[in-house]
A = this chain, B = another copy of it.
Amino acid sequence: MATVGLVEYEDGNDEVKAVYDDIKTKRNTDFINNFWKALANNPEQLKTTWEQVKRVMKPGKLDSVTKELVYIAVSVANSCEYCIHSHTASARSKGLTEEQYNELLEVIGLAHHTNGLVSTMQVEVDEVFKV
């Protein structure tokens, strides 16, 4: 149960409806996921966030799947259950294969592992990395 109510399409104001419509069009679906319905309690933030997501997550010099993998990695380290689920689903819908997922899992595990080792030993940054 969220700390805020979820705003359904029919209960949204015009600004909310416009964002929902845009989400449906851009994603070619009728489904609006809970994150947007929760954000819609503040229509301005809904719009700002959606515009930001569209701009940042579109394919650029990094492809869409790579961007989703970075998103998942951040969400895992931040323990954001919702974000992990939604962006794993998104990565798969954009073409992430199970073999790639397995490699992602290995890299995330290893990165956490060495982060822990480095943090425990408080290893100083080599000068060569600072340039």
Number of copies: 6
Contact (Cβ within 8 A) A107 B70: yes
What separation, in Å, do the CA atoms of A77 and B76 have in the docked complex?
Answer: 9
Residues in chain B near residue A78, CB distance under 8 A:
77, 79, 111-112, 115, 119
**Which chain A residues have a beta carbon within 8 Å of chain B's beta carbons?**
1-4, 31, 33-35, 38-39, 41-42, 45, 48-49, 52-53, 56-57, 60-62, 66-67, 69-86, 88-89, 97-126, 128-131
Known: A75-B115, A77-B78. 9 other contacts (CB 8 A): A45-B105, A49-B109, A53-B110, A69-B69, A73-B73, A73-B77, A76-B119, A83-B114, A112-B116
